[in-house]
Structure 1
Amino acid sequence: MASKGVSRFVEVGKKIVAVGRNYSEHAKELGNAVPSEPILFLKPTTSYITVGRKIELPKGATELHHEVELGVVIGKKCKDISPSAVTDHIAGYTVALDMTDREKQTELKDKKLPWAVSKGFDTSCPVGEFVPKSDLTKDVQDLGIWLKVNGELKQNGNTRDMLFPVADLISHISGIFTLEPGDLVLTGTPSGVGPVTSGDVITAGVEGCPDIEFTVQ
């Protein structure tokens, strides 16, 4: 049974574990190799914002990119669990954005330095409402996922195209980081990422979850 309070994951979760390049077309559009195992990075919980707040451009940023993702909220402690056990440890889902300072990320990658500055800045993890797993009637690996900027469709994919499905991802992550109730796992973004600027309105959705809307400040 999921621990109490996970519906308020933004307040109770201790970490955000994100997965890079989990859709092959997204990896290719940025000129990256398709990975043979999940690429993981962390975002601090201070990067969360909820609907009603605005996305802030990082200081000095010239290329802020949108990335829509299915977020998985952990309900029970996970440590070295098998893929077959993952569903029992999931509390629910949400729509999330992994906002990325792309120019800074490229600079850091070229220097072989960590991505933290480009991925973990304040307001870089906008999220929607918590959806209990029992309310998601479709297979989590067959959900439409999309994003629009000012009403124009930019990203349009399906979770079936993940290189590493949700169960495999969480099993893998749990062998490295102990996942705790309220933690959020970001499962990667489909192709179509691109820049936004001040005044742009981002709308996004994952099938079965309430859509989100955020304005860039």
Structure 2
Amino acid sequence: MKIIAVGWNYQSHNAEMAQKAIPQAPVVFTMPETALLKSGKPFFLPRFSNRIEYETELVFHISRLGKNIAPKFAHRYYDAVTVGIDFTARDLQAEARAQGNPWDLSKGFDYSAPIGEFLPLPDQPEKAGNIDFTLTLNGQRVQQGNSRDMIFSIDRIIAYVSQFYTLKIGDIIFTGTPAGVGPVQIGDHLEGYIGEKKVLDFFVK
């Protein structure tokens, strides 16, 4: 399976990170399968970074094999959604960006991509157009977003990435984070929700 992710997909987050340019196409990167962390398992802070930050995202499950998918048919290729965390080693990312180097290591390290329980989606074109999601940190809401605020919808992302990668059943797509990202420390408790339904729940150790 592949983990495909999209950066700079919410204007609110772009503003908080002083990213002024509006992307003209999805900013795509990939993470290895070893980045995946299933809900309920603890996340252990790595020793190679002094600042690990959470980025809460909607994550979609690919349900059909597809290549060069037209936007109008993209809704047929995913069947479920959950909340995931794109943990980022912000210090490593900043260093790599300053030097003009790829920042894969800051995003794709082991267990950097916790995901929650997938919820099924209806088989209809507008099924992903209005999905609320939130993250709480130690009981306090720190991020809130809605799929309608994405610069590139999941359908547009699927159409775009399928030009380059053949999508396979079981692949997952992280779709970007809204404003409110921040650091985690040992003992933190993270809980992710779609609407009022808790789908993600784990501790930092």
Sort the TM-score into its range (normalised by shorter chain).
over 0.9
2:10 is the alignment partner of 1:23: yes
CA contact (8 A) 2:79 2:123 kept: no
Aligned 1:1-217 pairs, distance under 5 A = 14-32=1-19, 33-134=21-122, 139-207=127-195, 210-217=198-205
CA–CA distance in structure 1, aligned partners of residues 44 and 102 of structure 2: 22
TM-score, structure 1 as length reference: 0.88
Which piece of structure 1 moves more, 17-26 or 204-213? 204-213
Q: Structure 1 residues 125, 135: closer, same or farther in 2, change over 3 A?
A: farther
Matched residue type, 1:204: G
Kindly tell me the number of residue pairs found equivalent between the two proteins.
Answer: 203
CA–CA distance in structure 1, aligned partners of residues 7 and 160 of structure 2: 14
User: 3-state SS of the aligned residue for 1:134?
Assistant: coil
How far has the Cα of 1:139 moved from its partner?
Answer: 3.8
How far has the Cα of 1:177 moved from its partner?
Answer: 1.1
User: 3-state SS of the aligned residue for 1:17?
Assistant: strand
Matched residue type, 1:189: T
Which piece of structure 1 moves more, 88-97 or 112-121? 88-97
Matched residue type, 1:22: N
Q: Where does the alignment leave 5 or more consecutive residues of structure 1 unmatched? A: 1-13
CA–CA distance in structure 2, aligned partners of residues 141 and 57 of structure 1: 34
User: 3-state SS of the aligned residue for 2:83?
Assistant: strand
CA contact (8 A) 2:187 2:203 kept: yes
CA–CA distance in structure 2, aligned partners of residues 209 and 122 of structure 1: 27
CA–CA distance in structure 2, aligned partners of residues 180 and 48 of structure 1: 17
1:140-186 alpha-carbon deviations (Å, 9 max, x no partner): 12111111111111111211110001111110010111111100011
CA contact (8 A) 2:118 2:199 kept: no
CA contact (8 A) 2:61 2:80 kept: yes
CA–CA distance in structure 2, aligned partners of residues 206 and 106 of structure 1: 30
